[in-house]
Amino acid sequence: MTTAYTVLQHLQDGRFYSGEELASSLNISRASIWKAIESLRKQGLEVHAVTGKGYRLSRPVECLDLDAIYSYMGAESSHYNIEVHQSLDSTNSYLLEQAKNGAENGSVCLAELQTAGRGRRGRQWISPIATNIYMSYLWRTQMAPAAVACGSLICALTVTQALNALGVEGIGVKWPNDVIVQQRKLAGILLEMTGEAYAEQAVVIGIGVNLAMPDEAASAIDQPWIDLSSLTEQKLSRNQIVAKILLQLRANLEQFEREGMQAYLETWNKMDQYAGQEVELHFPQQVITGKVQGIDQYGSLLLQTSEGVKAYQSGEVSLRMSS
Ligand code: BTN
């Protein structure tokens, strides 16, 4: 663990801590504390320094805490094997490697920051320290690869349901696997498989949730986004959100394996932020327009077009601007 992260763990509640106090509890010099503070600032955290009072975070954070996550999960925690990392290139890349080395179903990897977080369509996923959620879950399944692809829709539903259960309102899904609010992305899902063609698929489900994006990191995001802190005044525990998503995810994946996508069609339509709306479906060479009619049992998007209702397996959806 780096000194900067240890200092951050001490500062997380947003109260003032003097350099002297920090130096003596960490058993390092005050110069090292100062260096650690500089490093946290470089990573985008705002740390106030006031003479006579010490250092304090301008916005408190909640560091990831394995014990807290397991305790929010209660008895169900035994189904998971969770690792918390301070820094990884990408939790998905890490768990894909672990999967190749035989990691079990229900293995989970979380990181306080990602240096090369990955989004869909080759995008970057901006992953500053200690403020958002970057998590991957290993799902070993015997479902066929085509069915597994629907799993990404289930994951977007999962995040929405978990946040709803914690009292967050006004959020919904956007086909195929975004969690959005007013056309701005709150969470994204990236499903990847190990690529080995056995009867069992090892699927890594990557989930990124924006909780409190620092301004500097925000300036690097190249799509409309939103974070939880601008949606609700409620102070939600980061570790509790992680636990809730993981519990909901396992329950949903089990139901999906038993009953297929059919079991989720109604829930999807209720949570679809674009239900009944005129949209554009973008392909590299073409744009299709139509009205959203929900999804089918294969997770395809149903659009009412001038040629009737058609099902689409790919493409990027955006709301159609009225002319
Ligand atoms: C998207 O583009 O909408 C998908 C974003 C997925 C981001 C998450 S963060 C945890 C996991 N690790 C990654 O590198 N990506 C996913």
Return the pLDDT at 72: 98
| Percentage of residues in the chain having pLDDT higher than 90 | 87
CB-based contacts of 135, cutoff 8 Å, min separation 6: 91, 108, 109, 110, 206, 207, 208, 242, 245, 246
Residue 266 banded pLDDT, cuts 50, 70, 90: very high
Ligand 1 within 6 A of 117 CB?
yes
Asked if pLDDT for residue 128 goes beyond 90, the answer is yes
Q: Residue 188 is which amino acid? A: G
pLDDT digits (tens, 9 = 90+) for 284-301: 999 999 999 999 999 999
pLDDT digits (tens, 9 = 90+) for 202-216: 999 999 999 999 888
Ligand 1 within 6 A of 176 CB?
no
CA-based angle 233:239:243, to the nearest 5?
110
Q: Which of 35, 41, 123, 320 is catalytic?
A: 320
pLDDT digits (tens, 9 = 90+) for 59-105: 999 999 999 999 999 999 999 999 999 999 999 999 999 999 999 99
Return the pLDDT at 184: 95
| Percentage of residues in the chain having pLDDT higher than 70 | 98
Q: Residue 30 is which amino acid? A: R
CB-based contacts of 36, cutoff 8 Å, min separation 6: 2, 3, 4, 6, 7
Residue 178 CA: nearest ligand 1 atom is: 3
Ligand 1 within 6 A of 132 CB?
no
Q: Which of 185, 238, 244, 250 is catalytic?
A: 185
Q: How far apart are CA 216 and CA 208, in angstroms?
A: 18
Q: Which of 35, 120, 123, 291 is catalytic?
A: 120
Q: Are 136 and 92 in contact (CB under 8 A)?
A: yes
Return the pLDDT at 216: 84
Distance 113 CA to ligand 1 centre (A): 12
Ligand 1 within 6 A of 294 CB?
no
Distance 301 CA to ligand 1 centre (A): 22
Measuring CA to CA, which residue among 52, 271, 64 is closest to residue 174? 271
41 is catalytic: no
Ligand 1 within 6 A of 300 CB?
no
185 is catalytic: yes
Return the pLDDT at 149: 86
Ligand 1 within 6 A of 128 CB?
no
- Of 61-75, 140-154, 166-180, 246-260, the range with the lowest mean pLDDT is 140-154
